[in-house]
Amino acid sequence: MKTIRNLFLLIVLLISCHQYGDSQSINSIQINRLEDTHKFNNSIFGKNSYVFEPTMDMLAIQTLLDTIYNQQSGKKSEFTKNRVALFFKPGTYHLDVKTGYYMQVYGLGESPDDVVIIGAVRSKSTQKSGNVLSNFWRSAENLAEVPTIDSAVVWGVSQAAPLRRIHVRGDLQLHDHGYASGGFMADCRIDGTVFSGQQQQWFSRNTEWSHWVGGAWNMMFMGVTNSPEGIWPKRPFTVIKETPFVREKPYLIFNRNGYSLRIPAAQQNTIGTSWNKASKDAKTISLKEFYLANAETDNSGTINAALQRGKNILFTPGIYSMDKSLKVSRPGTIIAGIGMATLQSTHGNAILEISDVDNVTVYGLIIDAGKIHSETLLRVGDNKSGIDHSKNPTFIYDVYFRVGGPMEGSASSCMIVNSHNVFIDNSWLWRADHGNGVGWELNKGANGLIVNGDHVTAYGLFIEHFQEYQTLWNGNHGKVYFYQSEMPYDTPTVEAWSHDGIHGYASYKVSDKVTSHEAWGVGVYCVFHHAPVQVDDAIETPVTLEQNIHHTVTFWLSGNKESSIQHIINQKGEMVNASNKKATLN
């Protein structure tokens, strides 16, 4: 009877809340009235975060999860202002955790197997077509799943929706029943089979599974056990046996000492997951060393003051209006976000400016351009950076950029990397093709990523719709493992997208001065809605580096029937157009 009474009271409270929207959040519900000794959102992470324990009433948790999901799913929620973090303390839960926009699901154990969800943590389509082409901005991390809702865990997503440190005790499906447009998975174990289905491209790093089934355009496996067999281009598979160097993304844990952040040790030449191997070099940092930012009370001034005091920063869920850039000058600084914390430029400023120092870590943020034009949104290193950081590199994980979409925005570039020895692990840089403030003269953005530093590495780089080069690489010894890019949809005329006698802009540009560069699994796609654009090349490099660009694919998706990509790289490779939609090179 207590369970029924508690559930009834929770439903009444939820209904009385009226809305979980911009003006009011269901965080205002006083869950402690449920005769439970715990509150769902009474934690150090603020009112937009919910912390669950296995002793709590599962029906009450499920009702809350369903209510949140209903407000965070569907087209109407793609640019909502709500941000949500769901935390599960160690233990076993019987739940169906449906994941929508701006929802992040975290286990708080030291191992993924410390938090077990019997049921599902899943992302599915809200469309009749079953497409998940816009299932963005969500994630699941550091937990185990036993699928009982569907025959497999369904993680139907596209960009900015990673799986990390997940143990699926069964099968995993990377689509729903329609199209999907690319994704990222790292440090995961799937006991059964992974079904890629209509997933167009996917990057898996340091992951284990029994089998992989399917493949469309560009699927990369790096440091993965039981990768599928096949020879490019007959099969769309790129297999790199080992990951040469990586430090897995930090993760929050909860134990008798409270909350802390675990930072895995860097590893070389790795295969499979990190968490089944004991590492004495992992570092644990108390959250007392962090300034916990709150979107309602903090701004650029208060956060910069905390940085000057030597604090790391943890952005709790919310949208932060930033009128000045955050200055990171201390080696070892950590800038982290939970619940898809979003930082928006308001005065044409960059959001983050990182000095040329060792071992900075940035993760878990959405960074938005504002209406006043910015030169860039994130800068790593000074213009004349020259220090060798190979012993203590900087890592950037799951950082996403938007120029337009939630609002009108403009930036010359999203990220400029001047420092040497920087690692980018899953990033989506997006000039919006839909949403608010979208148009050739509205959300202006020349480049997504500009790399000037040497020895910069990207694992999973997604860049779309910028008005010049999507990626401009000026540094030496760069490496890119998996690249997914769409050229701009909204080019108004052929003349508007030409330069120096060249038709269009290559998506992937390695500048003429570069002498060492390598990339694997490079996919470039086009949709030109308006003009009969003829792009000369998808990729441009110095001629001496052509052989270092491995497994390339171009695809004509749709658009003006006379548009095309003429060549894949440096006037080599077949044309793609309305009659020949796909081309590949080794």
Of 22-26, 96-100, 464-468, the poorest mean pLDDT is in 22-26
Contacts of 566 (CB under 8 A, 6+ apart): 503, 534, 535, 536, 537, 575
pLDDT tens per residue, range 303-326? 999 999 999 999 999 999 999 999
Contact of 195 with 173, CB cutoff 8 Å: yes
Tens-digit pLDDT profile for residues 233-283: 999 999 999 999 999 999 999 999 999 999 999 999 999 999 987 667 799
- What is the arithmetic mean of pLDDT over 38-55? 87
User: Given this model, what pLDDT does residue 41 score?
Assistant: 73
- Give the model's confidence band at 5: pLDDT under 50 very low, under 70 low, under 90 confident, else very high: very low
Q: What angle do CA 550, 218, 448 make, to 5 degrees?
A: 80
Question: Is the pLDDT reported for residue 485 higher than 60?
Answer: yes
Kindly tell me if the per-residue pLDDT of 388 is higher than 50.
yes
SS (H, E, C) 153-195: EEECCCCCCCEEEEEECCCEECCCCCCECCEEEECCEEEEEEE
Report whether 111 contacts 90 (CB < 8 A): no
Query: Looking at residue 36, what is its pLDDT?
Result: 44
Indicate the pLDDT class of residue 383, thresholds 50, 70 and 90: confident
CA distance 490 to 467: 9
Query: 3-state class of 13 per DSSP?
Result: helix
Top-confidence residue, 25 or 47: 47
- 35's tokens: 């005769």
- Cβ neighbours of residue 215 closer than 8 Å, sequence gap 6 or more: 196, 228, 230, 235, 236, 237
Residues 295, 317: Cα–Cα separation, whole Å: 7
Q: Is the pLDDT of residue 203 over 90?
A: yes
Mean pLDDT, residues 334-361 taken together: 98
The conformational region for residue 364 under phi > 0 = left, psi -120 to 50 = alpha, else beta, is left
- On the question of pLDDT at 516 being above 60, the answer is yes
pLDDT grade, residue 387 (50/70/90)? very high
Angle between helices 2-16 and 58-72 (to 10 degrees): 20
Tens of pLDDT, residues 204-236: 999 999 999 999 999 999 999 999 998 999 999
Cβ pair 377, 369 in contact under 8 A: yes
Q: For residue 220, what pLDDT is reported?
A: 98
Per-residue pLDDT of 161-179, as tens digits, reads 999 999 999 999 999 999 9
Q: Three-state secondary structure along 531-571?
A: CCCEEEEEEECCHHHHHHEEEEEEEEEEECCCCEEEEEECC
Express as a percent the part of the chain with pLDDT over 90: 90
CA distance 415 to 379: 6
Q: Is 208 a catalytic residue?
A: no
Tell me how long the chain is. Answer: 586
Catalytic residue among 486, 495, 518, 562: 486
pLDDT level of residue 13 (50, 70, 90 thresholds): very low
The pairs formed by 217-221 with CB atoms below 8 angstroms and a separation of 24 or more are 217/523, 217/553, 217/555, 217/582, 218/482, 218/484, 218/521, 218/523, 218/551, 218/553, 220/481, 220/482, 220/520, 220/521
Q: Is the pLDDT of residue 394 over 70?
A: yes
Report the sign of the C-alpha dihedral through residues 555, 557, 558, 559, in that order.
Answer: negative
> Which stretch of DSSP H or E encloses residue 308?
helix 300-308
Q: Which pLDDT does position 139 carry in this prediction?
A: 98
